[in-house]
Amino acid sequence: MALLQIAEPGQAQAPHQHKLAIGIDLGTTHSLVASIQSGLPRVMPDEQGRVLLPSVVHYGDDGRVTVGEAAKQMASQDPLNTLVSVKRFMGRGAEALQQLGDQLPYELVQQANGITSFHTAAGDKTPVEVSADILRQLRLRAEAALGGDIAGAVITVPAYFDEAQRQATKDAATIAGLNVLRLLNEPTAAAVAYGLDQAHEGVHAIYDLGGGTFDISILRLHQGVFEVLATGGNSALGGDDFDLVLAKWIMAQAGITSPDAEVQRRLLQTARRVKEALSERDSVQLSLAAGTGGAPADWQATLTRAEFESLITPLVDETLKACRRALRDAGLKSEDLAEVVLVGGSTRVPLVRQRVAEFFGKPALTHLDPDQVVAIGAAVQANILVGNKPDSDVLLLDVIPLSLGLETYGGLVEKIVPRNTTIPVTRAQEFTTFKDGQTAMSVHVLQGERELAADCRSLARFELRGIPPMVAGAARIKVLFQIDADGLLSVSAEETSSGVRAEVEVKPAWGLSDDEILRLLRESQARAADDVRTRLLVEARADAESLCEAISAALAQDAALLTSAEKAALDEEVASLRQAMAGEDAAAIKAATARVNTASDDFAAKRMDASIQKAFTGKHLDQLED
């Protein structure tokens, strides 16, 4: 008799069978790939022994694509065809892309489908395609090091990436031939790496400042569970901005007024080298020859670390503001934290380490390489998800960065999933129709913290049609929000009595800019009182309008039940209510609504009596009992 071998889901049938899984840190400045080898996470180097792959892609006129260090060397000679910091462009709208493009020497092209791309010698390239070329290079590196095909990958993203930016990252991985096991927030990946290394329980702050993005996450580590309590940050703030500020300072000091693309690229490269040097030294000598970018004369200067720190202090302050918000969202104070972890190459800047230690009141952990810690954490999680370690007791609980909800009558927002809700999550809420005989409903999905739809970001719209005609308020429409472990959202709506259903997978055409993110959070706080007043006014008007329509319908059918004096009195109260609705006083509208309700009580009673009398007329007692 043949024996059937049984294995648990996700577990290899043969004990010795090991699936190859990788963790990828797709960074703004550098990217890298790691895997679990012989039970330990290792970052995989290239043939020259370099673990960091510059996130730079060059497109030649012969169609050749060069990625990494070789492409980086071409940046100053061929800046228009050498794309750097493309992560900043992922999932961004045309306006935001144009603003970024103004800072970098690129030629942007608006395509017919609304997607913005870079014009290169090899054709127009979208940010997704450029990222795919970087990810493909990392996949090839991993396959060469591991000696086989990759079963799956965990790719890290900034915690503050929205749905569009996450979806763009996932699309890039698919193009690169990778099976994405999960998109993992970068601070959470760092917590995995430090959690396994330290095994310290308690509340931790993960301060992640990379080349192009900043994240702050407050996590609780307890018995193998990594729970994100709050998150914040800026998806367009990082070490690149330090470089840009320094490059502008050099231009101002040297009298450069009209740099071409090549000079811009050289200035940014110089600024990066100066920044890195000042992390080790107290001063750096700078010089430019006359004519460089229009410089009127030879220029020499000495830049001290103190002067550099004064230039970047406003940027560092922005990161600390986000830290303060995250602590407030988590309901914690800095003294409640067990440890602070620094992640990202830009945390090597001494001012950053100093200010973070002062803000949190304790020195930060830096003993793991800040460039490698995210990839290491991703590799650990990939090894678990691919089934090599099915008995792992590590559980990751991430959160969404901004609230998700629907537009309701009057342009109000009904929040279905509040910000900082742990994912994956499923939330449902019932809604109903506003008008009699309504057979369709428009579902408008929103993201943000404000009370009015106009002040939040529109993610998607779809329609639920085929609702059975009923009186207002009788239909029951169940709206379901589902957010997966990658932070991607799908929304469905169903009329429960008929089973009519519609759904949408939210894939907005672009993501939030840094200004939009800050606006959504800051305005929700600064204008909270105004928003509440506005919401109360809109709700009062909606209730009043519903009452007026109901009375109008009732009068059209049963006005004969009232004397002329009673009808005149009711009409007067309704007119008074409509006059109040035209004003801005919610309390006055509510008071007028209450008066109309009181004035219509007798009318409602007469209608009920008439309805009962009509139902009973001509029937015997035994018929009523049946």
Q: Which residues carry out catalysis?
A: 25, 87, 186, 208
Written as six digits, the tokens of 519 are 């606006």
β pairing state of 53-54 and 404-408 = unpaired
- Residue for token pair 């259903």: 501
Strands ordered across the beta sheet of 225-234: 339-343, 202-209, 214-222, 225-234, 395-399, 422-423
Adjacent-strand bridge partners of 41: 36
Q: In terms of residues, how long is the chain?
A: 626
Element (H, E) at 396: strand 395-399
- Residue for token pair 């797709």: 26
In degrees and rounded to multiples of 5, residue 197 shows phi and psi of -75, -40
- Residue for token pair 């109903």: 432
Distance CA 472, CA 454 (A): 25
Residues whose CB falls within 8 Å of the CB of residue 444, separated by 6 or more in sequence, listed in order: 406, 407, 453, 458, 460, 461
Residues whose CB falls within 8 Å of the CB of residue 126, separated by 6 or more in sequence, listed in order: 115, 116, 117, 118
Distance CA 509, CA 459 (A): 9
Distance CA 434, CA 64 (A): 59
Q: What is the 3-state secondary structure (H, E, C) of 116-155?
A: EEEEECCEEECHHHHHHHHHHHHHHHHHHHHCCCCCEEEE
Closest CA relative to residue 404, chosen from 442, 443, 444, 447: 447
- Residue for token pair 């220029």: 299
Written as six digits, the tokens of 596 are 């109309």
Adjacent-strand bridge partners of 446: 405, 458
Distance CA 184, CA 378 (A): 7
Burial 96-113 (b: 16+ CB within 10 A, else e): bbeebeebbbbebeeeee
Distance CA 517, CA 21 (A): 34
DSSP 559-587: GGGS-HHHHHHHHHHHHHHHHHHTSS-HH
Element (H, E) at 474: none
Torsion of CA 484, 487, 488, 489, to 10 degrees: 80
Burial 191-215 (b: 16+ CB within 10 A, else e): bbbbbeebeeeebbbbbbbbbbbbb
Adjacent-strand bridge partners of 65: 59
Closest CA relative to residue 91, chosen from 516, 517, 511, 515: 511
